[in-house]
């Protein structure tokens, strides 16, 4: 034992003299912690693929990208063609490749070599790149500290604390590319330091370029966190020296612009998509303060695992000791203290979280920069931490005790993981207070404490006796066998017999179609086509998931399904409706497939057109009826001045929907209805709408102008009268409650245990059809500003006579109007057949190109069910024609009578401009390197 201890001391002494020794030590420690933190995945046969976004988005995008790259290289080296596929019909109903997948894989250097792995074993590459990201983040941190001049034995615990902070542990599984800023940010800071100290710009330029290409979302945050660092650094470095400020800013600006130009081939197209995305343009409520529970959790979250508005800190407890020691030191470490206070203020005020998140919802995903600061504070304080004086030991001990007591007094911080973290800190403090222990052993103490604390956070997060996060990931077996899903078994048989096929359905696996290569109305990607989002909003399609950009189809609406050119409909065997006009075709273990007897092809024709602005004034049910008779043309700018061929008014179209009179039944002790308002005082309260049905047809429950103001049970007794208009919960009733009941109700109120930012309504007919819809308030993270909903209760041959609405939460539900609408389907088939009178034939889908032929006996609009994008151009008989936005989300071209060859060509908006800028950026960067080398020689 003594000999081993001696060898460890000798090894530790060599850390400062050899970088290779340091990197070996870091690598060994990293391997130990990686095995320990993620061992629960290995032991239970789980992958690092989170069952929600990990499986539905990250993993499937990686598999798609691997095939995309293989096809790209095949075209170059075998087919001798340089072709960049820019559009794919298998991304939902069709979407831009770069705009969709940049957020996940395209541009990220860690995903490039995925083409070397088959889909069956892609999970190995996926996990390896996660660990590599974490490993390199610690390396980048170390390089920054080395450059500034810190001894390697002091850097080691800081590098480990940084690499295994909770942001890394959490996002390793949840969102792997969220780890990239942990690597890029220390390199950006190092680049700034090189510009300040040596006037060298190359590192900063390259890092800007790589970060901008990797992910636009985090690049936005990296820009602001770097600016904050630069301002603080310049204040303490240059003071009031305006000349030095000017030179420093100029060098940073030139370096930034050069790097951005180098990345423009990806950055510019993605910027275009991001700025047009529906989520970016939805107004979000600016929060003044976070909920009380947020502030109650903050103290404990500094050293233990946990997230709250993405405030993922969970730093190893030695970091806390270092921070306490830093603030104990007067007139020292002023810059670090300033930076720490700025970060703390930003954590406490929602405005900064929203600003860093593109002025969207409250979210502290910039916290990676705080992790760098705190780990760096540990490095800076190491020389003093290992040589503590009695006063400092007493101060840290008292501060740690107060911290522990405060956390124990707060409900959300009072847990076993905090007790274990503080215990590690206390043991370390005791160890550091022991005399006659040399400096190297003390450094080892701190490093071991960091390792144990990081390991504890990982265990509490992933273990079955902790949060059991590993259980939320898919198994190795599923990653190998279910990667293509059972949808492909049914759809691919039909897809082989036609150039184009599209399917819809219920209970489908999200984004599976991008792997099967078949177009589908199922879609779940972060950046979406704004025309598709707006169409769903205009049609008041219910939100049946907690994410408004998670599209599951068209709510079983026969008209919208047909108008989307979906010829197949898959219904999960766990439950789902079959829309009108679909007949059984086949099935497997998971799905039953139905054929659309009224399917429309990719291109069909209209005799008439209506203006979109006029169409938007119709009800949701009448909107789809109008689209069966006339194409809806959306125009803007100069186009609005031109006459629209074959235009008619929406009033000239026929509508046969029937709005039913109804009566309401409800328990007045649970819900009160007054002035278009339901005051719900009991969760699960119901209101039944009774009406006289119209026989066979679709039945819709329409609610317009919906709003919700949630309330906790405590507010029924002491809140506004509108929460309890009949005074069923008086103060006298409150006094009759037991002490424990009062305590529980008050805690639920003060800690905001039940979110009121979203609410679910259950809707059931007397024929047994049940659906649900979500409503999001302006406080919701993914607020969509949708207040009108039209819920299709399905087609029924039976007479539907009642609809029951179940309210999930207590509170006030207000609305402008509620309608029960019956839509007969008598004329539906004839209307579809009229659209199929002239269709696009000989359709071929090529790379960024669609061709077909059509013969008309009169002038008509050719509607193409390709999601509208400004990247598309249409050519008729070789001449370019105007391409209209049609039916909200699709495209149309006006054709004269006769036979025409129609060609559509796609080019990603701003891709060519971005490529030219990238060439210019690379040229400028090369010139800078040449000039710098010449200066060195002189």
pLDDT at site 425: 95
In this prediction the pTM is 0.94
Token pair of 109, please? 């250097």
Query: d(Cα 164, Cα 37) in Å, to the nearest integer?
Result: 9
Supply the DSSP string of 360-388, one letter for each residue. SS---TTHHHHHHHHHHHHHHHHHHHTT-
Q: Is residue 918 part of a domain?
A: no
Q: Are residues 197 and 330 in the same domain?
A: yes
Which residue, among 899, 278, 175, 902, has the nearest Cα to 547 in the 3D structure? 278
Lowest mean pLDDT among 69-73, 336-340, 636-640, 744-748: 636-640
> What is the pLDDT, as a whole number, of residue 581?
95
Look at residues 470, 501, 529 and tell me which one is the last residue of a structural domain. 470
Q: What is the domain count for the chain?
A: 4
Mean pLDDT to the nearest integer, 726-747: 84
Sign of CA dihedral 314, 316, 320, 323: negative
Give the neighbor-by-neighbor strand order of the sheet with 603-606. 603-606, 860-864, 890-895, 884-886, 631-634, 609-611
Confidence (pLDDT) at 472: 94
796 is a domain residue:
yes
Length of the chain: 938
Average pLDDT over residues 866-881: 96
Residue 5: predicted pLDDT: 63
Q: Which of 420, 447, 470 is the last residue of a domain?
A: 470
Looking at per-residue pLDDT, the higher value among 382 and 289 belongs to 382
Residues 432 and 487 in one domain: no
pLDDT surpassing 70 at residue 279? no
- pLDDT at position 675: 86
Of 85-99, 111-125, 718-732, the one with minimum mean pLDDT is 718-732
DSSP helix/strand/coil, 9: helix
Same domain, 632 and 683: no
Q: Within this chain, do residues 416 and 279 fall inside the same structural domain, yes or no?
A: yes
Neighbours of 636 (CB within 10 A): 8
Instruction: Using pLDDT thresholds of 50, 70 and 90, give the confidence band for residue 744.
Output: confident
Question: What CATH number is given to the structural domain containing 857?
Answer: 2.60.40
> What is the rounded distance in angstroms from the CA atom of residue 386 to the CA atom of residue 392?
11
* Residue 371 belongs to a domain: yes
Helix intervals (H) in 112-151: 122-148
Dump pLDDT digits (tens) for 627-658.
999 999 998 766 667 788 999 999 999 999 99
Q: How much is the pLDDT for 749?
A: 80
CA-wise closest residue to 771 among 518, 541, 493: 541
- Please tell me whether residues 142 and 174 are part of one structural domain: yes
707 and 744 housed in the same domain: yes
- How many CA atoms within 13 Å lie on the side-chain side of 500? 25
Q: Are 781 and 703 within one domain?
A: yes
Residue 635 confidence (pLDDT): 81
Give yes or no: residues 819 and 705 share one domain.
yes
Q: Please check whether residue 185 lies inside any domain of the structure.
A: yes
- Residue 396 scores a pLDDT above 80: yes
pLDDT average, residue stretch 461-471: 91
Reported as a single tens digit per residue, the pLDDT across 807-846 is 999 999 999 999 999 999 999 999 999 999 999 999 999 9
What's residue 259's pLDDT? 97
The answer on 331 and 248 residing in a single domain is yes
Across 423-437, 544-558, 906-920, the highest mean pLDDT is recorded for 906-920
SS3 393: helix
Alpha-carbon distance 312 to 816, whole Å? 41
- 362 and 451 in a single domain? The answer is yes
In this structure, what DSSP letter does residue 541 have? B
Mean pLDDT score, 95-120: 95
* Residue 641 CA neighbour count, 13 Å, CB half: 2
Kindly state whether residues 384 and 528 are assigned to the same domain: no
Q: By the 8 A CB rule, do 806 and 762 touch? A: yes
Within a domain: residue 304? Answer: yes
pLDDT in tens, 525-539: 998 999 999 999 999
Q: What band does 286 get if pLDDT is binned at 50, 70 and 90?
A: confident
Give the angle 317-319-324 at the CA atoms, nearest 5°.
Answer: 105
Tens-place pLDDT, residues 33-51: 999 999 999 999 999 999 9
Q: How many CA atoms lie within 13 A of 66 on its CB side?
A: 22
305 domain residue, yes or no: yes
* C-alpha–C-alpha distance, residues 661 and 214, integer Å: 56
pLDDT for the residue 9: 67
- Output b/e per residue, 212-228; b: 16+ Cβ within 10 A: bbbbbbbbbbbbebbeb
Domain span including residue 405 = 1-44+117-470
pLDDT reported for residue 282:
67
- The tally of CA atoms less than 13 A away on the side-chain side of residue 458 is 24
Give the domain CATH number at 704.
2.60.120.260
- Best CA proximity match to 561, nearest among 495, 505, 620, 483: 505
Same domain for 819 and 834, yes or no, is no
- Cα angle 143, 104, 137 (rounded to 5 degrees) comes to 15
Of all residues in the chain, what percent carry a pLDDT higher than 90? Answer: 75
Closest CA to 294 of 439, 413, 463: 413
Calpha distance 602→902 (Å, rounded):
13
Q: What gap in Å lies between CA 279 and CA 606, rounded to an integer?
A: 32
Indicate if the pLDDT at residue 358 is higher than 90: no
Is 346 inside any structural domain? yes
Asked, for residue 888, whether it belongs to a domain, the answer is yes
User: And the tokens for 25?
Assistant: 């030590």
The set of residues, in sequence order, having a beta carbon less than 8 Å from that of 721 and lying 6+ positions away, is 727
Predicted confidence (pLDDT) per residue in 198-243, tens digit: 989 999 999 999 999 999 999 999 999 999 999 999 999 999 999 9
Contact by Cβ (8 Å): 902, 874: yes
Among candidate residues 422, 452, 326, the one with its CA nearest the CA of residue 383: 326
Expressed in angstroms, the distance from the first to the final Cα of the chain is 57
Q: Output DSSP code: residue 55.
A: I
CA 624, chain centre distance (Å): 30
Confidence of residue 16 (pLDDT cuts 50, 70, 90): confident
Count the Cβ atoms, other than its own, within 10 Å of residue 84: 15
Ranges of beta strands (E only) in 635-706 are 658-660, 662-666, 671-673, 677-680, 686-691, 697-704
Average pLDDT, the chain: 92
d(CA 498, CA 487): 17
Pick the last residue of a domain from 824, 859, 886: 824
The confidence score (pLDDT) of residue 497 equals 64
Quote the pLDDT of residue 579.
96
**Angstrom distance (rounded) from CA 884 to CA 891:** 6
Confidence of residue 296 (pLDDT cuts 50, 70, 90): confident
DSSP 8-state class, residue 509: P
């Amino acid at each position: 034992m003594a000999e081993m201890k001696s060898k460890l001391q000798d090894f530790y002494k060599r850390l400062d003299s050899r970088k290779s020794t340091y990197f070996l030590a870091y690598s060994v420690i990293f391997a130990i912690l990686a095995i320990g933190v993620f061992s629960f995945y290995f032991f239970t046969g789980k992958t690092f693929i989170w069952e929600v976004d990990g499986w539905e988005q990250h993993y499937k995008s990686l598999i798609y990208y691997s095939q995309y790259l293989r096809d790209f290289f095949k075209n170059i080296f075998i087919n001798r063609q340089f072709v960049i596929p820019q559009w794919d019909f298998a991304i939902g109903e069709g979407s831009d490749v770069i705009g969709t997948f940049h957020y996940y894989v395209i541009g990220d250097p860690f995903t490039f070599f995925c083409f070397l792995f088959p889909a069956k074993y892609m999970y190995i590459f996926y996990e390896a790149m996660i660990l590599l990201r974490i490993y390199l983040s610690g390396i980048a941190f170390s390089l920054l500290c080395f450059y500034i001049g810190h001894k390697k034995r002091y850097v080691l615990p800081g590098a480990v604390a940084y690499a295994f902070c909770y942001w890394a542990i959490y996002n390793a599984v949840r969102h792997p590319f969220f780890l990239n800023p942990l690597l890029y940010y220390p390199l950006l800071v190092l680049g700034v330091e090189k510009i300040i100290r040596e006037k060298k710009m190359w590192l900063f330029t390259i890092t800007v370029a790589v970060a901008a290409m990797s992910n636009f979302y985090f690049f936005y945050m990296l820009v602001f966190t770097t600016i904050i660092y630069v301002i603080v650094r310049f204040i303490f470095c240059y003071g009031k020296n305006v000349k030095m400020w000017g030179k420093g800013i100029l060098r940073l600006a030139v370096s930034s612009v050069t790097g951005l130009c180098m990345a423009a081939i990806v950055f510019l197209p993605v910027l275009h998509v991001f700025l047009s995305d529906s989520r970016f343009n939805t107004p979000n409520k600016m929060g003044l303060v976070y909920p009380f529970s947020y502030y109650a959790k903050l103290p404990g979250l500094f050293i233990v695992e946990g997230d709250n508005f993405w405030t993922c800190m969970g730093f190893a407890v030695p970091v806390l000791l270092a921070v306490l020691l830093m603030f104990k030191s007067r007139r020292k470490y002023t810059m670090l203290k300033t930076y720490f206070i700025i970060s703390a203020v930003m954590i406490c005020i929602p405005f900064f979280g929203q600003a860093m998140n593109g002025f969207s919802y409250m979210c502290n995903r910039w916290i990676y920069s705080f992790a760098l600061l705190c780990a760096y504070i540990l490095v800076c304080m190491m020389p003093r931490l290992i040589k503590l004086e009695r006063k400092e030991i007493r101060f840290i001990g008292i501060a740690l005790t107060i911290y522990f007591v405060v956390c124990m007094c707060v409900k959300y911080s009072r847990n076993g993981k905090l007790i274990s973290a503080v215990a590690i800190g206390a043991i370390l403090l005791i160890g550091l207070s022991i005399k006659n222990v040399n400096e190297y052993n003390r450094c080892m103490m701190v490093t071991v404490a960091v390792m144990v604390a990081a390991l504890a956070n990982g265990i509490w997060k992933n273990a079955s006796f902790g949060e059991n996060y590993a259980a939320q990931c898919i198994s190795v077996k599923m990653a190998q066998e279910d990667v293509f899903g059972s949808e492909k078994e049914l759809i691919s048989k039909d897809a082989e017999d036609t150039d184009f096929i599209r399917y819809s359905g219920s209970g489908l696996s999200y984004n599976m179609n991008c792997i099967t290569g078949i177009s589908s109305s199922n879609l779940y990607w972060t950046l979406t086509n704004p025309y598709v989002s707006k169409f769903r909003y205009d049609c008041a399609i219910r939100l049946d998931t907690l994410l408004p950009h998670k599209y599951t189809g068209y709510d079983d609406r026969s008209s919208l399904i047909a108008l989307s050119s979906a010829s197949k409909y898959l219904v999960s065997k766990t439950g789902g409706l079959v829309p009108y006009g679909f007949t059984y075709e086949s099935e497997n273990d998971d799905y039953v497939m139905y054929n659309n007897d009224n399917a429309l092809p990719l291109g069909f024709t209209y005799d008439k057109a209506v203006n979109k602005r006029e169409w938007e004034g119709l009800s949701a049910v009448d909107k789809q009826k109008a689209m069966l008779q006339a194409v809806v043309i959306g125009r803007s700018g100069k186009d609005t001045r031109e006459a629209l061929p074959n235009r008619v008014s929406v009033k000239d179209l026929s509508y046969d929907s029937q709005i039913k009179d109804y009566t309401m039944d409800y328990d007045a002790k649970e819900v009160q209805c007054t002035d278009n308002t339901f005051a719900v005082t009991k969760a699960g309260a119901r209101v039944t709408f009774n009406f006289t049905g119209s026989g066979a047809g679709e039945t819709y429950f329409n609610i317009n102008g919906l709003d919700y103001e949630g309330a906790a049970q405590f507010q029924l007794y002491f809140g506004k009268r509108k929460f309890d208009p009949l005074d069923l919960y008086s103060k006298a009733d409150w006094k009759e409650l037991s002490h424990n009941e009062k305590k529980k109700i008050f805690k639920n109120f003060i800690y905001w245990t039940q979110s009121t930012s979203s609410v679910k309504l259950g809707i059931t007919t007397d024929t047994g059809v049940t659906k649900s819809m979500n409503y999001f308030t302006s406080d919701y993270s993914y607020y969509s500003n949708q207040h009108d909903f039209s819920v299709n209760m399905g087609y029924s041959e039976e007479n539907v006579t009642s609809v029951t609405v179940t309210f999930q939460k207590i509170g006030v539900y207000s609305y402008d109007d509620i309608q029960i609408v019956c839509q007969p389907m008598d004329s539906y088939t004839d209307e579809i057949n009229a659209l199929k009178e002239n269709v696009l034939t000989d359709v071929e889908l090529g790379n960024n190109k669609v061709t077909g032929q059509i013969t008309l006996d009169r002038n008509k609009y050719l509607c193409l069910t390709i999601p509208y994008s400004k990247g598309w151009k249409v050519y008729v008989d070789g001449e370019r024609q105007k391409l209209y936005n049609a039916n909200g989300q699709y495209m149309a071209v006006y054709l004269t009578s006769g036979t025409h060859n129609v060609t559509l060509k796609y080019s990603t908006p701003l891709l060519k401009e971005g490529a030219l800028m990238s060439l210019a950026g690379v040229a400028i960067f090369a010139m800078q390197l040449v000039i710098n080398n010449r200066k060195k020689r002189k």
